[in-house]
Amino acid sequence: MLLLVGIVLLLSACSGQNLLKNGDFETMDGWHCYGFHCELTNIKHTGNHALKVSGRTQYWQGPGQDLPYLDPKKTYKISSYVKMLNDIPGEMGQYIELEVAITFTDNSKTYMSLASYPRISSKDGFVLVESIFTVPQKSIKTANLYYQGPKAGIEYIVDTASIVPIQLDTNWRKESDNYIESHRKSDIHFKVTSDAGIDKSQVNIQITQKKKAFPFGTAINMGVYNHGNTKYRDFIHKHFNWGVLENALKWDLIEPKQGAADYATPINTIKTLRNHGIKMRAHNIVWSKGKYVPTWVQSMTGSTLRQTVHQRFIDIVSKTKGLVEHWDVNNENLHGFWFQDKLNDQYFNHQMFTWAHQVDPTVKLFLNDYGVVAQASSTAPYLEQALEFKKANVHLYGLGVQCHFVEDVAPNPTVLKENLNTLAKAGLPIWVTELDVGTHDENLRADWYETILRVMYGHPSVEGVMFWGFWDQAHWRKDRGALVVGNDVTLTAAGRRVLDLFENQWMTKESRKLSTAGSQFTVRGFHGDYEVKVTYKGHTISDQTKTFTLDKTSKTINIHVHQ
């Protein structure tokens, strides 16, 4: 675990007082420590004192404080420095989180993990645990903040804790639109000549974008795609330019018994999708949570386990070589450490990235995790992990951010932008890999997807957006996350809104009459593939039809109008 120093969310609009009493721990006033011991110590991060926590017998025991002023109308930044004082032999560090327990006035309850950090050891010194969060929009009866996570027997110090309200970014939409206009589009310069006698008022030039360059994709249920409703297939082919097989490449599903892997079906499915012009991500080579490790692998240790994992990389990456653009290497490896623990190798993730690159040097390799953009509990450690992988030079290309939004909670554009800005400090491309929201109200769902897509498309580090499904009959959230529903694959309000963005607002279709546009004019177009048609007196001049691809560089199109 690398020491996290000085990672600060650039919340330019932070305002208001700290909701925590004695967050500087110069006294213990306001803090409670039930069933364990707390005392002031001069081992501190700032000021004169910090709080030492000892005598814990349960992982959930940690100092806490009542929050009488938590406002459901506000968004907050929470932060605290934490230092582990001892380690457990054979373990690579401890997990800690800042959590709040809320009881609402209707007596319902919720527990929110606000900020977390994995694998902190005593050698790391003080580590900053921080995030931004939005309070559920319900009337609050009581709220209590507490630290939890390190195993029983671990002693630690906390210091410099704060919960501060932040101002919402009311200009986010304008800023997003400005970026889209300036960076997702380029100039198309037209130079037009004509034969003598041509009536310029009868010349029409039609500029039509046929395909978008920016990746808008979806997770694909292989069984439904191959054997289910053909309208599901047709919708994918018509409306998405990228795809990812939802589960079919995962190790425990493709090889449930050693040596009994079925590669043919997913590989053929990928080939079919590519034949329809859809580029493919691949998800995932391994998943470092025990329940997702094949059962026949779980008893392995030492060199046998290492060799078996290596063979998995050789097998699957070689078979997808030339067919997929991306691989998620070790899924959610901020939240799972099965291979590292089993092999007692803290940097085994680095080895796995190296293996993948050795098999296919052309495929782009990704980290992929949750709680990093849609929520912010793991944003800071994800940045630290990205910087660690960059420093190790193990061919990490980009950061996958899953973006499964909390049920019935509106996405907050301020939170999204700040989390993206934090991760952008890694200097790596960001892909939204698993996007969905959850609400029965399809009009709210439309609003929420639009907000998210505008923030993502309008951020300089975001290279692509993948929905985690779109049809209620092939979606883990059913109709609550769907763009289309029913056997007829009928568009919902959310689907209509998303397609309006994809295929109308963010596509270019322009027409110019030569008599008004002049012989030289410029059209600003979204990046992608284009066709230009010229008509004179209603008839197409076929030899002046132009096709081209518009990218970040402007394009000049020469046209000669003749009879």
Which residues 6+ apart lie within 8 Å of 16 measured at CB? Answer: 164, 165, 166
The distance in angstroms from the start CA to the end CA of the chain is 72
Q: From CA 64, how far away is CA 144, in angstroms rounded?
A: 7
Q: From CA 418, how far away is CA 410, in angstroms rounded?
A: 16
Query: Cβ(457)–Cβ(180) under 8 Å?
Result: yes
Residue 539 backbone dihedrals phi, psi, to 5 degrees: -110, 135
Residue 96 backbone dihedrals phi, psi, to 5 degrees: -140, 145
Closest among 130, 13, 151 to 79, alpha carbons compared: 130
Q: Give, for 84, the enclosing helix (H) or strand (E).
A: strand 75-84
Query: Cβ(107)–Cβ(141) under 8 Å?
Result: yes
Closest among 293, 203, 282 to 249, alpha carbons compared: 282
DSSP alpha helix (H) spans, 29-86? none
Residue type, 524: R
SS3 182: helix
- Relative to beta strand 127-134, strand 216-220 is unpaired
Q: Give, for 82, the enclosing helix (H) or strand (E).
A: strand 75-84
Place of tokens 């080579």: 285
SS3 400: strand
Residue 75 backbone dihedrals phi, psi, to 5 degrees: -115, 140
Beta bridge partners of 191: 520, 558
Catalytic residues: 434
Q: E-strand spans in 265-325?
A: 279-287
Q: What value does the CA radius of gyration of the chain take, rounded to a whole number of Å?
A: 27
Q: At what angle do helices 348-359 and 302-320 cross, to 10 degrees?
A: 40
Closest among 444, 283, 292 to 366, alpha carbons compared: 283
Query: Cβ(559)–Cβ(207) under 8 Å?
Result: no
Indicate the burial class of 22 (C-beta count within 10 angstroms; 0-12, 13-18, 19 or more).
Answer: middle
Query: Cβ(157)–Cβ(41) under 8 Å?
Result: yes
Place of tokens 């004509």: 194
Q: How far is CA 543 from CA 76, 135, 426, 549, 562, in A?
A: 61, 61, 48, 18, 10
Residue type, 169: D
Which residues 6+ apart lie within 8 Å of 304 measured at CB? Answer: none
